[in-house]
Amino acid sequence: MEPRALCIFVVALAATAAPALGHHSHANYWETEWVDLEGTVQAVHWVNPHTWIYLDVAHEEAAKSGAWALEGASVTTLRRDGWTADSIKAGDSLTVRCHPLKDGSRGCLMGFVVMNDGSEKEFD
């Protein structure tokens, strides 16, 4: 590539590569804290702007036992990362790691899904 063309390309790339701004603020989540949850999927809401997994969790802490709402990335982002609407289904056993809501209710910002081989895959 010619130097001039390369320069134009780099400038154009820089102009269009502004950091992504989230659809909404995540201030209502503790983004520096993590919670590990294990349970059974109650429902998957494969919708934009965010996907949601409802997970039934039996936890030794009473406050953490019950149905959780796990906020995931958009449908578009998840598809790009290889997820499909059927990757996680109602009735599946699921382990996740996520950021809990500040208000103490059972909501969590994904986060990662722990796969069968023990590895983690982003759901964010």
Contact 40, 56 (CB under 8 A): yes
Distance of alpha carbon 70 from alpha carbon 99, whole angstroms: 9
Nearer to other proteins, 25 or 119 (CB): 25
Give me the least distance between CB of 118 and other proteins, in Å please.
26
Contact 91, 40 (CB under 8 A): yes
Binding mask 11-30 for other proteins (x = CB under 8 A): -------x-xxxxxx-xx--
Amino acid (one-letter) located at 87: S
Give me the least distance between CB of 51 and other proteins, in Å please.
8
- CA dihedral over 70, 49, 29, 109, signed as positive or negative: positive
Q: Which of 106, 111, 113, 123: binder of other proteins (CB under 8 A)?
A: 106
DSSP state of 101: B
The residue with tokens 């590569």 is 17
The residue with tokens 């289904």 is 89
Please give the span between the terminal C-alpha atoms of the chain, in angstroms, as a whole number: 36
Nearer to other proteins, 1 or 20 (CB): 20
Q: Which of 34, 49, 58, 115: binder of other proteins (CB under 8 A)?
A: 49
Give me the least distance between CB of 68 and other proteins, in Å please.
6
Residues that bind other proteins (CB under 8 A): 18, 20-25, 27-28, 42-50, 52, 54, 66-69, 71, 73-77, 79, 85, 101-107, 124
